[in-house]
Chains A and B, each alone.
Chain A
Amino acid sequence: MENLGYSPDQKMSTGFKLAPKRKVNVFRKYMAAMLLLAPLLLFILAFFVVPMIYVFYLSFIEVEGLDVSNASYSIGNYLTFFTDPYFLRSLWMTIKVSVYAVIIALILGYPIALTMAKSSARVRGYLTLLVASPLLISVVVRNFGWYLLLVPNGVIDQFLMGIGITDSPLKLLFSVPGVVIGLANSFLPFMVLSIATSLYNIDPSLEKASSIIGASPLRTFFTVTLPLSLPGVVAGIVLVFSMSMSSYVTPALMGGANVPVLPIVIYEQINTLFRWTFGSAISYILLGVTLISVTIFSRIFERKFKEVFR
């Protein structure tokens, strides 16, 4: 026993001494973490949570015209929205435009992400920069670029008419296609990077295993690569969808009055018609619809592909 370096008693006593010391450490660590987080938490509280609560409160105040004196608390704003076909059409338009943008971003984004995943680290770096480049340009400038391309008798129309595919302008601007093109272009990076991250995480030997078992590259893609990349696909869809739903600048520039999506309607209600309590209610309806559809969508996917999402 002597040469073990310590006796059992010693071991016991150090054990007892350590226990309370550890508790203090945990508490201190927790405090330190809170202290480090405090500035951000305060910022979010002051400039996000409080305004959100205030807007929620406003949405339940019904005002007749501009006279604030006869304001009353009710769910009238919400009833107005859901009984007026104009607003319901606008909601539907918003969803439609966002879903189209998601589909385009997915179709264009997946092959790019796949190429990135198959490339060497160096090429991958360049591709990432290329994919992220739309984020480096102001949304207004980017949309004006599209504006010049899509404007009636603009570059695209001239080209298509020149080679004889169409004989009249396509009316891409101030229409749903224009907005969808703009949105898909803006949010494509989020789709690509989400999917690519998922693809990077797939063990390359899985594709080898599939190949040696006898699956052609196409078969391997659909049975191994695609299912295992679904978490990234879902994340990309959710990101692009929610950003498209709340997008204002692109629909305003590319759609104008022809594509009155909800953010534009909210702006009109608040800044032009000064119905800011009604505008607040629409904001919450937009938020609610986005949250609910995103939740239902991801739930369905996660349930269907349970094993992939673990």
Chain B
Amino acid sequence: MTTSDVTIRGVSKRFGTNVVLQNIDLDIKQGELLTLLGPSGCGKTTTLNAIAGFLDPDEGELYIKGKKMNGVPPYKRDLGMVFQTYSLFPHMTVHENLVFGLKLRKLKKDEMESRIKRALELVKLTGLEKRYPRELSGGQRQRVAIARALVVEPELLLLDEPLSNLDAKLRHELRAEIKRLQKEVGVTTIFVTHDQDEALSMSDRIVVMNQGKIEQIGTPTEIYQNPQSEFVFQFIGKSNRFEGLVVEADADHTDIEIEEGWVIKTKKDNVIGKDRTFHAHDVVNLYIRPELISIKSVDQGLGAVDSELVQQKAVIKQMNYLGSQWEIEVSVKGQHHVQIIGPTIENSWSVGTEVLVEWKTSDIRLTKR
């Protein structure tokens, strides 16, 4: 209990017959930025609302800093929260928005003023105290909302999709800023998002949720590189999928036939999910990330083909320039469409060019269908 700021034990929540949270266990460490990530309806917002106190779990216990919070209303939990829609009080100036929470905590006047000054410095909005929310831009409003949440020096900072209403450039800016602020202030932060880029770039740890359950908890690199379920693998990042048939399986190796004459050898480490034993004739899904596939000209030759490398001829079907990189779609053996993301291309390539694609067998991920 010493390093854990929030402890959630066996929390479930139902709306009618609809189970939105199913036996959630979660420990949030002191000072970390933890992200709840998942598609809409996965229970991430419900979890946040349970922590905030906007709803009470049907089962299970919730502790914040060791104190049991079941049944405690939001206004007695001492939290800070930033909402998707900014939720600044429109009839109050920036200063009034910030001072509201401080007045409720009955602080001394100069303490209030110095805290407001510090909070506005933190979000770089010094000098805008007398402005009303409608006189601010979207980005400024969200900064005020962050300042309002932090000025009360809350036990926890809750961020409910705070960047969703901003345009792409601003979203990027604020992402970095929230991360910096969070480390500077050191407040334990729970961040809810459906945007995997946000989650990967900002979090200390990510909780991937799906259908009211936690799929995986881990650092961004763990989540991306070692997904523990097919859902996590598919939800985070892009992937190419091949269907295959197990032709041979032993303790370490599984040989998979993608089609007549194309067999890929995989190892046990490649398997994700709970069911890790395969037998001949099992149907499997084989995944490979687009950025892990390399592409080169045919004249560079097939080279030494070994079981560590999958190599195939392919025809370019589409080339999309994304600025910092290229997104290329090729067709392998006429019927498998494969997406590749890479930094460079040859000048001579165009739609219809025959190329070579290759990837390491160790980068393949495998699940049973």
Residue in A209, A224, A305 whose CB lies within 8 Å of B81: A209
A214, CB-defined interface residue at 8 Å:
yes
Mask: chain A, 206-242; 1 = CB below 8 Å from B; 0 = not:
1011111111110100011001100000000000000
* Complex Cα gap A172–B54 (Å): 47
Q: Is the CB of A219 within 8 A of B81?
A: no
B63, CB-defined interface residue at 8 Å:
no
B312, CB-defined interface residue at 8 Å:
no
A308, CB-defined interface residue at 8 Å:
yes
Residues of B within 8 A of A17 (CB): none
Which secondary structure characterizes the binding site on chain A? helix
Q: Which segment of B72-80, B244-252, B277-285 sits at the interface? A: B72-80
- Closest-by-CB residue of A relative to B92 is A307
Q: Is the CB of A215 within 8 A of B73?
A: no
- Closest-by-CB residue of B relative to A219 is B104
Residue in B53, B75, B83 whose CB lies within 8 Å of A216: B75
* Complex Cα gap A219–B106 (Å): 14
Residues of B within 8 A of A213 (CB): 75, 80, 100-101, 104, 148, 152
Residues of A within 8 A of B81 (CB): 208-209, 212
Residue in B74, B134, B158 whose CB lies within 8 Å of A211: B74
Which secondary structure characterizes the binding site on chain B? loop
A205, CB-defined interface residue at 8 Å:
yes
Residues of B within 8 A of A2 (CB): none
* A211, A214, A307, most chain B CB atoms within 10 A: A214
How far does the Cβ of A307 sit from chain B's closest Cβ, in whole Å? 4
How many A-B contacts if CB must be within 8 Å?
69
A212-B52, A213-B101, A214-B101 known; A205 and B87 CB under 8 Å? yes
* Complex Cα gap A146–B87 (Å): 46
A205-B85, A219-B104, A310-B134 known; A212 and B79 CB under 8 Å? yes
A211-B74, A214-B75, A214-B78 known; A308 and B152 CB under 8 Å? no
Mask: chain A, 152-186; 1 = CB below 8 Å from B; 0 = not:
00000000000000000000000000000000000
B242, CB-defined interface residue at 8 Å:
no
Q: Is the CB of A307 within 8 A of B75?
A: no
How far does the Cβ of A229 sit from chain B's closest Cβ, in whole Å? 11
B132, CB-defined interface residue at 8 Å:
yes
Q: Is the CB of B134 within 8 A of A215?
A: no
* Tally of contact residues, B, Cβ under 8 A: 30
* Complex Cα gap A215–B97 (Å): 13
Q: Is the CB of A215 within 8 A of B91?
A: no
Q: Is the CB of B105 within 8 A of A214?
A: yes
Q: Is the CB of A307 within 8 A of B132?
A: yes
On A, residues with C-beta under 8 Å from B are 203, 205-206, 208-217, 219, 223-224, 227-228, 305, 307-308, 310
Q: Can you add 20 more A-B contacts, CB < 8 Å, to A203-B87, A208-B83?
A: A205-B84, A206-B89, A208-B54, A209-B81, A209-B87, A209-B148, A210-B100, A211-B54, A211-B73, A211-B74, A212-B53, A212-B81, A212-B158, A213-B100, A213-B104, A213-B152, A214-B75, A214-B76, A214-B104, A215-B104
Across the A-B interface, give the 6 residue pairs with the lowest CB-CB distance, nearest first: A213-B101, A209-B87, A214-B104, A205-B87, A307-B91, A212-B81
Q: Could you pull out 21 A-B pairs where Cβ atoms are within 8 angstroms?
A: A203-B87, A205-B84, A208-B83, A209-B88, A209-B148, A211-B54, A211-B75, A212-B52, A212-B77, A212-B79, A212-B80, A213-B101, A213-B104, A214-B75, A214-B104, A217-B75, A219-B104, A228-B90, A307-B90, A307-B91, A307-B92
